[in-house]
Structure 1
Amino acid sequence: MAADKFAMSRDGEDILVEKNFAQLVYLAGKFAGLSTTLLDTQAKPSEIRTILNLRDAYHYAMSLQYISEVSFAALLKINLFVIGAGASGAGQIRVQPVVVPLTDMIYQPTIPDETQVKREFSDLVQSEATTTDKAITVLLWLSRAQLFLDGNKRTAIIAANALMFAGRRGLLAVPENKLAEYLQRLQQYYKNGDTANLKHWLYDTAIFGF
């Protein structure tokens, strides 16, 4: 079990999020393939909706710190914000197959059973693990399970941070200069389902606070 690196006050967590909010939105946008830089994020109209959706999703995730638990209903709402209320399947567990193209193969996750994944998610967030461990586990589980038609990696990182915000344990964010390595490691995880090495890497690379 990964220990919590940080134990922050509510004010401290709020200051950390406020200072890094633009960076969190920007990095989440990279999972959607956005080509914007941090400086010109607001200058490309064709991508602004994705940015605004991520902003709203993070604002919602931050609001969850005032309740006792990040629920399955909250997870669905995060996805609703991420891909937009008008998008097909937004905020709903998918009922059709999807494929994820990898470098050398196609990964096709099973069609999720909503009752089962609801139970699995609840078990993860209610476990006796540390907040940091739960956040990393939720990030990886959601990324591989591909519960939604779209926005799975973005939903996963924001849901993981909702847990970090609520527990006042800092932030979970893959630095831009480590993003290519993360995506490569994530592909291996899609193939073999082995979380151990990737969890250690994320703990060492992607947990921030003070």
Structure 2
Amino acid sequence: MDKFNFNREEMTLLAKKNLANSIYNSARLENVIVSPSQIENIIEGKSIAELDSGDLQIILNLCNAWSFLLNHLDDKMSLDFACNVNNLVSFNESLDWGKLRYGDVGINGVNFQPSIPVKKEVQIEINNILSLDATITHKAIMYMLYGMRNQLFWDGNKRTSIFCANKLLIEHGKGLITIPEKHISEFHPLLSHYYETNEGDEIYHFIYNKCLYA
């Protein structure tokens, strides 16, 4: 079932209100050493000299991706939308940002190796998820898990998948997914288990119960 029920305008305002916290949590998920106040300053366009340039790039990319998301809620959720998000999330970070992966990748800490994604098959799978006889919340989490495990892009797959899930949620007023810093240590082993086994029940309930906010 859906955990929250708002209209789009209300949900968009809530997403904007929680923007700094969402960016902070996403940055910490990527092991970026940053404080909430530094995130606030970056959002406001202030210079942060003490941040590593690579870490700053991740945060600026997150800011740009959020701007795109909130301004494109009317766009159809599709592979093209996911590519546009990844283009912003992984700018100057990956081998070829914004494009479907065309070579092999490994995932740190697990033996599972995702196959090279085929555009037509990815499009079908996304359509299948969106066509489920299920709540928007369920579809959003299922897409998020699918995007993460299949590593559709060269880099930024967790961030891209969360953004795409949030597009669905915010568009329909169903809340906002963010992995709180206090739960990151719990999230990683659940994600690794999901990668290895493709058994998603445990991480699904973790996301629903601990990472879905309004």
Please give the TM-score of this superposition, normalised by the length of structure 2.
0.89
Structure 2 unaligned spans of 5+: 43-47
| 1:118-173 deviation digits (Å, cap 9, x = unpaired) | 11012212322211101111111111100111111111111111111111111111
Taking the aligned partners of 2:72 and 2:172, their CA distance within structure 1 comes to: 10
1:177 to 2:175 alignment: no
Q: For this pair of structures, how many residues does the alignment match?
A: 204
CA separation of 1:85/1:71 partners in 2, compared to 1, >3 Å: closer, same or farther? Answer: farther
| Residue in structure 2 matched with residue 193 of structure 1 by the alignment | 198
Q: Which amino acid aligns with 2:71?
A: S
| Residue in structure 2 matched with residue 73 of structure 1 by the alignment | 80
| Residue in structure 2 matched with residue 137 of structure 1 by the alignment | 142
Runs (4 or more) in structure 1 with deviation over 6 Å come to: none
Shift of 1:45: 4.9
| Residue in structure 1 matched with residue 170 of structure 2 by the alignment | 165
Structure 1 unaligned spans of 5+: none
Shift of 1:71: 1.9
1:34 to 2:32 alignment: yes
Taking the aligned partners of 1:33 and 1:117, their CA distance within structure 2 comes to: 29
Taking the aligned partners of 2:134 and 2:96, their CA distance within structure 1 comes to: 32
Task: Select which of 48, 51, 55 maps to 2:56.
Answer: 48
Contact kept, 8 Å, 1:10 with 1:168, in 2: the verdict is yes
| Residue in structure 1 matched with residue 45 of structure 2 by the alignment | none
| Residue in structure 1 matched with residue 90 of structure 2 by the alignment | 83
Taking the aligned partners of 2:204 and 2:111, their CA distance within structure 1 comes to: 23
| 1:152-196 deviation digits (Å, cap 9, x = unpaired) | 111111111111111111111121101110111000001100011
Contact kept, 8 Å, 2:89 with 2:159, in 1: the verdict is yes
Q: Give the % identical residues.
A: 28
Taking the aligned partners of 2:122 and 2:92, their CA distance within structure 1 comes to: 22
Contact kept, 8 Å, 1:29 with 1:154, in 2: the verdict is no
Contact kept, 8 Å, 1:161 with 1:171, in 2: the verdict is yes
| 1:87-132 deviation digits (Å, cap 9, x = unpaired) | 5311111111000111xx4331111111101110122123222111
| Residue in structure 1 matched with residue 68 of structure 2 by the alignment | 60
| Residue in structure 2 matched with residue 117 of structure 1 by the alignment | 122
Shift of 1:76: 0.6
Task: Select which of 200, 204, 210 maps to 1:205.
Answer: 210
Please give the TM-score of this superposition, normalised by the length of structure 1.
0.91
| Residue in structure 2 matched with residue 128 of structure 1 by the alignment | 133
Taking the aligned partners of 2:27 and 2:67, their CA distance within structure 1 comes to: 15
| Residue in structure 2 matched with residue 25 of structure 1 by the alignment | 23
Contact kept, 8 Å, 1:93 with 1:114, in 2: the verdict is yes
| Residue in structure 1 matched with residue 6 of structure 2 by the alignment | 8
Q: Which amino acid aligns with 2:30?
A: A
